[in-house]
Structures are given as structure tokens and as C-alpha cells.
A = this chain, B = another copy of it.
Amino acid sequence: MKRIILASASPRRREIMTLAGLPFDVIVSDCDEEVSYDGPEDMVRKLSARKAEYVAEKLQKEETEPHLVIGADTVVYFRDQILGKPKDKEDAFRMLTELSGNSHVVYTGVTVIDTATDRTETFCEATKVEFYPVTEEEIRAYIATGDPLDKAGSYGVQGLGAFLVRRIEGDYFTVVGLPIAHLMQILRKY
């Protein structure tokens, strides 16, 4: 198989790839993340493609050996609002207070580009997440750990934020940030 490049700075995505036994390198894409979009699925698809394209073009200019470049983007969708990473602690508090006791949907878009052929595949997975009702005190204590601040929707499902989640419907790793099973279905074609 061609060498895999993960075009993402997210430590969670790296960890998922590692646990799944996929060898890869990381090249962080610092492309512009402003896009026009029609809903959360369209947004994460477009942003995953932009991140992958940015790194693929860079590799093609350098005329390196062929690579498979993976881009991904994750957002939380709740009551017609798209929630990305919080701006600050107060923004995190506002998001978690809204999500408490309710269900939302996490969208992760993934794009795979083969730099040898420019063949590009994009998919999106959506997972419904139901939160327990949590108290203001619990939310403040969770924010004080720092865990919410670099995460879409202001929580991480896999660690200190696990106490929030009553149940999910869909793929778990989509909520962490990379739908690994679906991705592996695509990678095995190469």
C-alpha cells in the first residue's frame, strides 16, 4: 500500500490511526478554513477535501513518491446550529449547557486523495449523541480540566468528557473525529 499522510493536527485522529494499526505520517494542513456550505454534512465534506487537497498539492509539487492523503473535519450540530471549537471557556460553558440533557449529531467528513492519480473520495458519517443532564458545577469542573477547549462542541467523548454521554447511535469514532472503519473500507481498495 502507498504511504499514508494524515493531514490533521488532531492528537485524537493520530491515536485512532495508531490503535487501528495503520502506519502513517502527519503533515498538518494550514489551509484557509472559511467555506460556503449548505448544512453540516456539506461543510465537513468540503473542509475535509480542502485539507487533503492542500497537502496533496504540496506533495505533488515536491514530486515525492505517491501518497494517500487523508483530510478530516468534525462539527457538532444542534438545533440548526453548527458548533465548532469553543472560542474560550465561556463559549464552552454556553455550548455544554445547551447540549446537556439533549441529543445532537456529530458529523465527520473524510477525504482520501491518491497523489499519483488525483483520485479523490469523500464521505461523511453522522452519529447521534445523547447527553445526560449535567449540573452547572459539573460543566465548570469539566471546563477547568482544559479538555473541552480544543474540541468541536466543547467535549471529548473518549476521556474526561465520557461522563456526559448516555448513548450514541452510529459510529463511535466519528464522534472522536475519524470514522476509522469506513476509512479502512476505502483504504483497502488501494
Q: Which residues of A contact B (CB under 8 A)?
A: 16, 19-21, 127, 132, 145, 157-160, 162-173, 180-182, 184-185
Residues of B within 8 A of A185 (CB): 132, 163
In the assembled complex, how far is the CB of residue A181 from the closest CB belonging to chain B, in whole angstroms? 5
Whole-angstrom distance between the alpha carbons of A169 and B103 in the complex?
Answer: 13
- Beta-carbon contact of A19 and B159 below 8 Å: yes
- Beta-carbon contact of A163 and B145 below 8 Å: no
In the assembled complex, how far is the CB of residue A99 from the closest CB belonging to chain B, in whole angstroms? 14
Residues of B within 8 A of A157 (CB): 172
- Beta-carbon contact of B169 and A181 below 8 Å: no
- Beta-carbon contact of A162 and B132 below 8 Å: no
In the assembled complex, how far is the CB of residue A145 from the closest CB belonging to chain B, in whole angstroms? 7
Residues of B within 8 A of A164 (CB): 181
- Beta-carbon contact of B162 and A181 below 8 Å: yes
With A20-B162, A21-B145, A166-B182 known, 18 other A-B pairs at CB within 8 A are A16-B162, A19-B160, A19-B162, A20-B159, A162-B180, A162-B181, A163-B180, A163-B184, A163-B185, A164-B181, A165-B171, A165-B181, A166-B171, A167-B169, A167-B170, A168-B168, A168-B172, A172-B172
